[in-house]
Amino acid sequence: MTARVREAGRLDHGDHVCAVFETPADHHRIMLDFVKDGLRAGDRVAYYTHTVDPSVVLFRLAADGLEAHAAAAAGQLVVRPAAETCLANLPFDPAGAVASLGAQVEAALGAGFAGLRLGGDMTWAARGVPEGDRLLEYEQLMTEMLDNRPALALCQYDGALLDSATADAAVGLHNRRLLAPPPPPPRAQVEMTADGLVLRGEFDLSNAPALVAAVDQLLADGGQAHVFVDELVFIDGQGAAQLMRLHRTPAPLVLHGAPAILRRILEVCWPEAEVCLP
Amino acid sequence: MTTTQPHADERRLPMWHEALLYRSRDEYVDGLTAFLHEAIADERPAFVSVPAEHGDLLRASLDGQSHLVRFADMRQVGANPNRILPAIRAFIDEHADREVSFIGEPIWAGRSEAEVAEATRHEALINHAFDGTGARIICPYDVSALDPRTVADAYRTHPRVWADGAWVTSADYTDPTFLWCTIKHLPPVPAEAETFEVETDDLPRLRARADAHADDAKLDLARSQDLALVVSELASNSLNHAGHPGTVALWHEDGTVWAQVTDRGRITDPLAGRVQPDRTSWGGRGLWLVNNLSDLVQLHSDETGTVIRVRISRPS
């Protein structure tokens, strides 16, 4: 990594920013912040995806609190496959790709936006694109294109796919580097206390094993099961089925503070079970 | 008993499933009252689920014996037609030592085409679900008000039909699992729908988007929560059973949210989601919840994959 790469604060027009991500979740959080800042600044944001469908990007941005669909309808947010830009003409043609991105800057200004923020998932660079090894040439041309224009660009690289020499060289051709924001707190917490099992947050297929393990442990401990669910936000039918493993004769399950969602599942799936709901 | 009344003959069948195509109130009341009197005389438990105003007519015609018959408003029981089968099953189970009689009128004039298609699918599945139970089931159809195509379908879903004053064996009767697979009423998803694939880690985001559509449609909190649970179950089913992310579409209008999940898996059990899950079993709970929490569920599955479309509305 070269010394002239700065860790990013706020991005400015002219910046050519790089971010090396380790996980898809990191990739998404970097993109989310990038898009959010761009929309707030009144720029057009054009993001080019590679491994994820544009519809999924829009869905995730919207679910994470951005007015993504409204911004897309207004032309402020454009999410397209990389196949339509850098990879539109193969073999990879760095000068042609950068020229077409440069034309997009003018188009954004013409449409009344303050500038253009280009974002892209560069995973394709590591995936056998013909002439893909001309990546460094492309990055150099991008830096020149962005200089003195109301535009900036973010290149997201998958750290797991790039060899370290290419990664260092690519990072070195950017003037700033973004790090992934810290991960949000886990959506669900499972805590075993002296009084019983405490469940907080949302339980679904994505975190089922933690719930199964906790239920297994309570079953192994024996006795009447007490589960504290007053901070439970969501549980699905399979999660409720796990809890119902704790409902035994002669010791019915005790659910403290059961929220409406859990009561609804019990009423539909176990109408006759006499679970204690203090 | 005159020759115009049904069930003058005493054929014993593994079960009876008959359509009463009526043209007048008298034909409705005479035919169904005779059916109920016979059940009462034979001490067969009887259950009537028809639109409430029709239930009132039958009650009034039972000469003080209506307390021997259980009534339930079909507009409630069968609002989502997929919930009728379990209601009949519960009545059969409750009277395990007797053969039961059931009157079901799941199709009435004014039901939407989508609801009529699902009610027709339900009618077909009655033949599959209750074969061998000895249940006697009769389903009135108002031929003066219903679309002729709906009446034609009654001939496909009932082995025997009362029409124009006589019982006939239906020549059009069709294998119920074939009908289950082939009845399809799924207009295209509207262009304004939000469509995306849902990976396991996206399930909370899917619920967030469902909440947003519920807000825009002005659903109340209880229905919003039902919607979030239903879409989560459907997307989880794709991940669990099809083994890949399902494609979700969400759209809404005032008071109603629609959700559809498509995947390349295949559901082969026609009764999936229509049988109360065993309390100790692990599977089968997803579609049971979906059927019980949705106002309409349209499930279509064949060798190309599965489409499940649900409607959740603000209570009227």
Which residue in the set B194, B232, B279 is minimally distant from A69, CB to CB? B194
Residue B148 near residue B28 (C-beta atoms within 8 A): no
Residue A87: its pLDDT value, please? 74
The DSSP element (H or E) to which A121 belongs, if any, is strand A116-121
The residues in B 144-203 lying below 8 A from A, measured between CB atoms, are: 194-197, 200-203
CB contact under 8 A, A261 and B229: yes
Percent of chain A with pLDDT over 70: 94
Residue B12: its pLDDT value, please? 44
Q: How far is B195 from chain A (nearest CA, A)?
A: 7
Q: With a cut of 70, say whether residue B279 has pLDDT above it.
A: no
Angstrom distances, CA of residue A224 to CA of A20, A221, A230, A272, B168: 50, 9, 19, 19, 61
Residues of B in contact with A265 (CB under 8 A): 229, 289
Residue A249: its pLDDT value, please? 86
Q: Which of A53, A55, A56 to mutate: most B Cβ within 10 Å?
A: A56
Q: With a cut of 80, say whether residue A85 has pLDDT above it.
A: no
Q: What is the mean pLDDT of chain A?
A: 90
pTM exceeding the 0.80 threshold for the entire prediction: yes
CB contact under 8 A, B196 and A58: yes
Q: Which two tokens stand for residue B94?
A: 């409750």
Identity of the amino acid at B123: E
Q: How far is A140 from chain B (nearest CA, A)?
A: 35
Spatial separation of the C-alpha atoms in residues B316 and B313, rounded to whole Å: 8
Residue in chain A closest to B280 (alpha carbons) equals A245
Residue in chain B closest to A66 (alpha carbons) equals B209
Mean pLDDT of A80-97: 82
Q: With a cut of 90, say whether residue A3 has pLDDT above it.
A: no
pLDDT digits over A144-167, tens only?
Answer: 999 989 999 999 998 888 777 777
Identity of the amino acid at A146: L
> Chain A contact for B121, CB < 8 A?
no
Mean pLDDT of B270-294: 86
Pairing state of beta strands A77-81 and A44-49?
parallel
Residue in chain B closest to A240 (alpha carbons) equals B285
Q: With a cut of 80, say whether residue B280 has pLDDT above it.
A: no
Band (pLDDT 50/70/90 cuts) for residue A253 is: very high
Which residue in the set B195, B239, B293 is minimally distant from A268, CB to CB? B293
Which residue in the set A53, A237, A264 is minimally distant from B286, CB to CB? A237
| Structure-token match 């219903």, residue found | B146
Q: How far is B209 from chain A (nearest CA, A)?
A: 5
Mean pLDDT of B277-300: 87
With a CB cutoff of 8 Å and minimum separation 6, the contacts of B62 are B33, B36, B37, B68, B69
Mean pLDDT of A191-219: 95
Residue B282: its pLDDT value, please? 59
Q: With a cut of 70, say whether residue A131 has pLDDT above it.
A: no
Cα within 13 Å of Cα(B145), Cβ side: 11
Q: With a cut of 70, say whether residue A128 has pLDDT above it.
A: no
The DSSP element (H or E) to which A270 belongs, if any, is none
Spatial separation of the C-alpha atoms in residues B35 and B50, rounded to whole Å: 14
Residue B215 near residue A62 (C-beta atoms within 8 A): no
Spatial separation of the C-alpha atoms in residues B192 and B65, rounded to whole Å: 54
Of A1-10, A211-220, A225-234, B123-132, minimum mean pLDDT range? A1-10
| Structure-token match 């409204």, residue found | A70
Highest averaged pLDDT of the listed ranges A13-22, A161-170, B272-281: A13-22
CB pairs under 8 A between A and B: 91
Band (pLDDT 50/70/90 cuts) for residue B11 is: very low
ipTM exceeding the 0.85 mark? yes
Which residue in the set A59, A62, A234 is minimally distant from B207, CB to CB? A234
Residue A165: its pLDDT value, please? 77
Percent of chain B with pLDDT over 70: 94
Q: Nearest-CA neighbor of B164 among B141, B198, B136?
A: B141
Angstrom distances, CA of residue A148 to CA of A8, A120, A174, B134: 19, 21, 15, 85
Q: With a cut of 90, say whether residue B273 has pLDDT above it.
A: yes
Residue A212 near residue A245 (C-beta atoms within 8 A): no
Q: With a cut of 60, say whether residue B6 has pLDDT above it.
A: no
CB contact under 8 A, A204 and B203: yes
pLDDT digits over B112-143, tens only?
Answer: 999 999 999 999 999 999 998 999 999 999 99
Spatial separation of the C-alpha atoms in residues B138 and B144, rounded to whole Å: 18
Which residue in the set B200, B229, B293 is minimally distant from A205, CB to CB? B200
Residue A7: its pLDDT value, please? 55
CB contact under 8 A, A236 and B226: no
Which residue in the set A234, A268, A272 is minimally distant from B228, CB to CB? A234
Cα within 13 Å of Cα(B79), Cβ side: 17
> Chain A contact for B211, CB < 8 A?
no
Q: How far is B254 from chain A (nearest CA, A)?
A: 19
Q: With a cut of 70, say whether residue B5 has pLDDT above it.
A: no
Which residue in the set B236, B279, B286 is minimally distant from A270, CB to CB? B279
CB contact under 8 A, B285 and A53: no
Q: Which of B225, B274, B279, B287 to mutate: most A Cβ within 10 Å?
A: B279
Q: Which two tokens stand for residue B72?
A: 């339930």
Q: Which of A268, A270, A274 to mutate: most B Cβ within 10 Å?
A: A268
With a CB cutoff of 8 Å and minimum separation 6, the contacts of A78 are A44, A45, A46, A47, A72
Angle at B51 between CA B11 and CA B275, to 5 degrees: 65
CB contact under 8 A, B229 and A238: no
The DSSP element (H or E) to which B214 belongs, if any, is helix B203-216
| Structure-token match 């898009």, residue found | A35
Mean pLDDT of A196-200: 97
- Of A180 and B283, the structure prediction assigns the larger pLDDT to A180
CB contact under 8 A, A264 and B226: yes
Which residue in the set A62, A187, A265 is minimally distant from B289, CB to CB? A265
Residues β-bridged to residue B101:
B46, B136
Residue B4: its pLDDT value, please? 43
pLDDT digits over B34-73, tens only?
Answer: 999 999 999 999 999 999 999 999 999 998 999 999 999 9
Spatial separation of the C-alpha atoms in residues B125 and B241, rounded to whole Å: 23
With a CB cutoff of 8 Å and minimum separation 6, the contacts of A178 are A8, A17, A18, A19, A30, A33, A34, A154
